[in-house]
Amino acid sequence: MTPLLLGHRGTPRTHIENTMRGFQAALDAGLDGAELDVRRLKDGTLVIHHDEHLKDGRALPQLVAADLPDYVPTLEQLLTWAAKTGAYLNVEIKYEKARPDDRVSRTLDAIRMHGLTKQVILSSFNPLILDAARRHAPEVKRGFLYHRSYKFGPLDLVPLMLRWLKADAAHPHHSMIDAGLMAQARAGGWQVNTWTVNNPAEVIRLSALGVNALIGDLPDVLLVSR
């Protein structure tokens, strides 16, 4: 099986991360699409940005659309591009508080409006966001993100969490993946998508284990799987 290959926030080693130029560069390099992050501005605008703050220190939840630098795309711009190009998207929803806000339903409604429900997987470290997503748009795939150092609860509860969420995929950090995890995922009916893979030997190891998707910063490294 050949894994899906996604640029981590586009192509961050050669372009500003989470920008339209970076996303297009990932496709031009031969990847299948991109992983990206959704945040919400004060006026409700949904934008593509990883951190809560811009590089100049301004907090996104305190800004309106007119305040944005030109390089920060809106969710609408991103989805329009994906519908045109056929890019596959791993859409991670960021949050400032544990309880979901309207960015979950509005992100999913926009995905539906652009006809991308089969072209997207929604992901989050926050299980409450994924539960809200399941209730609002069960047809959009969902993946639960986790890492040894950044998780909700003990790691041995991850399978229970995946079942409770009716998740389609586990999204562990690549260092956590071994044959045992893959067997557990297959038994549970979950795909395994992993991040951030920037070493050719690791790409080969994970591909041999049958990982479904690889997310990384370096297109050339990811492409050794093919």
**What mean pLDDT value characterizes the chain?**
97
Residue 150 has pLDDT above 80, yes or no: no
What is the per-residue pLDDT for 153?
72
| Cα-based distances in Å from 219 to 33, 124, 130, 205 | 11, 23, 28, 17
Neighbours of 69 (CB within 10 A): 12
HSE (side-chain half, CA atoms, 13 Å) at 37:
16
Average pLDDT over residues 109-137: 98
Percent share of the chain, pLDDT over 90: 95
Using one digit for the tens of pLDDT, what is the confidence trace for 32-70? 999 999 999 999 999 999 999 999 999 999 999 999 999
Q: How far is CA 220 from CA 14, 107, 216, in A?
A: 12, 31, 10
**117: CATH:** 3.20.20.190
What was the pLDDT predicted at 154?
Answer: 77
pLDDT at 101 over 70: yes
Q: How far apart are the first and last CA of the chain?
A: 10
Q: How many domains in the chain?
A: 1
Average pLDDT over residues 85-111: 97
CA angle 140, 83, 18 (to 5 degrees): 85
pLDDT at 105: 98
CA distance 200 to 218: 10
Contact 100, 132 (CB under 8 A): yes
pLDDT at 209 over 80: yes
pLDDT at 26 over 80: yes
Phi, psi of 88 (to 5 degrees): -85, 140
- Rounded distance, CA 121 to CA 192, Å? 12
- Residue 1: is its pLDDT beyond 90? no
The per-type count for the chain, helices as H runs and strands as E runs, is 8, 9
Tell me the β-bridge partners of 192: 170
Confidence of residue 155 (pLDDT cuts 50, 70, 90): confident
pLDDT of residue 152 exceeding 80, the answer is no
pLDDT at 74: 98
Angle at alpha carbon of residue 110, lines to 107 and 116, rounded to 5°: 105
pLDDT at position 128 is 97
Q: What is the pLDDT of residue 151?
A: 62
Rounded-to-integer distance, Cα 23 and Cα 21, Å: 6
Residue 189, pLDDT > 80, answer yes
Kindly report which listed range (101-115, 117-131, 152-166) carries the lowest average pLDDT score. 152-166
Which region among 46-50, 74-78, 146-150, 206-210 has the lowest average model confidence (pLDDT)? 146-150
* Residue-number span of the structural domain to which 121 is assigned: 4-225
